[in-house]
Every structure is written in structure tokens, then in C-alpha cells.
Amino acid sequence: MKSNNYIIEAMDESVQLWINKRLPFEPTLWLADARAELQQKLRELQACPQRMIMATLSTLDERFFDVENVLIYNVGSGAFSVHARHGIGFKRIRGLPPNAPSGESFLYHHMYQLIDVPDDSSGTEIIRFEFPLRKLSSGTKPHEIWQQTFESDLMSNIVIDGPFEISITLYTPKLILNLASVIKPLLDGIISSLHFESTFDEVAVQRLAQKTNMATDMIIEQLQNPPRPFLGKRNLLTSYRNFVKWNPADELCETCTLIQRQSHSNECEVRIY
């Protein structure tokens, strides 16, 4: 469909959206129309067993924003339910968006494409670590992931001071039906574990202790002295409404692949490039 503000084109294994604004979490007016049509076209993609969906965003917009939010979370996980069983990924492309078929230019270009599940990333691996992941569902919260990452015994003082790529492999006896529904809390929890903060919000720490049954001293220790503070200092955890809010630098994660493999164990493997 074509409008003055966006164009959507769908084929058997891909959907493209050209649009003049970033898709927000709660769109209104024509942005709501664009999202509804995009959701419908994604659901209509031809089902391909053993393939995953890869989303890319091309733009010259240099402002900081969470690309996963724009491409997946703000679209709604339900739109990916048929195609995100084996894997889902996203990538930010810093460049001029391709023109629409009409020849018109837009500020943002979304591409959603069914691809083969990759065996490995072609990038240079900086670090790899694993941790037990006993529970993961659409209701999982970032603090549950953050807490479990510390069960990995890998320690490193590597510093990452710019955009990075992350590859996550879930090993689980029971496959998750829609990986789009878990990618956000998974990323938020993992990326939060890669920061440290020298000061802390006492109310937030107390609330987190009550929710997790962790001792406040342990929470403070993990906030101030995590084993893998790759992403440096951050005002990471604050009290918010009746609980807490995490503030990881997830805008630096510009490429991500999340896949799952059936296994007797419950484990999460993280590789950073």
C-alpha cells in the first residue's frame, strides 16, 4: 500500500516498509495505519520451516535509538509468531535508504526477510560466555536474566566503547514458539550485566532484593563489580513506579542474532563481535 508518509511492499519471503518517521511504541493516526498493515503483511509471509526472520533498518539518522525497539518490539511480537520459532535478528544499516519502487525517497527503510539460520557470525569474536537459563518466556523480566548471567565464571576487563554485534544461542529442551516475544528482556538483561555503576539507587536495590530474594549486599556487589563490565559505567538501575527500571546502552547493539537449538540442558550462549 502507498500513502504520502509510507509505502509497504510484500513478496513471498520479504516485507519492506519505507516510512518518514521512526515507528513508535504507541503509534497514532497514519503511523498506526502503517503498523497495522506491516503486521498483516508479516503474518502473510510464506511459512518456511527451519528459516528465521531478519530485520534491517536503513537510515541516515545518527541519533541514538534502540534499533530492536523500532524493528521488532514496537511492531509487536505477534506479527512474528509464524516465522520467529527458529531465529530472529536485526541490524542497523547506517546509510542512505534505498528508494521505494515508485522512485520516492524516505527517511527510514525496514526490510524483513526470511533467511537460513546462520551457523556462525562472519565477524571477529571479542568474547564468549555461557550461563544457565532456567526460565524464559514472554513474561520474563530483565532482572531475571541479569541475575542469571552472573552464574557464568568468565571474567574479563575488555572494553567496548562503540557499537557492537551480539549473537545469542538458546539451548533448551522445549523450544520457544516465538523468539520475538523474548528478545527484548533477554537483551536488556544481558546488556545490563555488561555495565557497572559506582553509585546506586537504594530504593531500587531494596525493591530488587524483595523481588529476587537476593541479599542487598550481593546486588550492590554485582552492580559495582560485575565480572564482565565491557560497556563501562552507566546509571543502570533506578526506582520506577512500584518497581525498578533498567537503563542499559542497548542502542549500541546494532546487530543481533537470536537462535535456539533443542538440547537436554537449559543454557544461553552469548558471543560479542
Averaged pLDDT score across all residues of the chain: 94
Per-residue pLDDT of 133-172, as tens digits, reads: 988 999 999 999 999 999 998 888 889 989 999 999 999 9
Please give the pLDDT value at position 48: 81
Cell of 163: 557499537
| pLDDT of amino acid 23 | 97
The structure's pTM equals 0.94
41 in Cβ contact with 14 (< 8 Å): no
| pLDDT at residue 121, rounded to an integer | 64
pLDDT higher than threshold 70 for residue 267: yes
Could you read off the pLDDT of 107-130 as tens digits, one per residue?
999 999 999 998 766 678 889 999
End-to-end CA distance of the chain: 38
DSSP 72: I
CATH 2.60.40 assigned to 6-116: no
What is the location of CATH 3.30.1330 in the chain? 6-116
- φ, ψ at 58 (rounded to 5°): -105, 130
Per-residue pLDDT band at 101 (split at 50, 70, 90): very high
| The three cell numbers locating residue 146 | 541479569
Quickly state the pLDDT bin for 239 (edges 50, 70, 90).
very high
Helix (H) or strand (E) holding 80: none
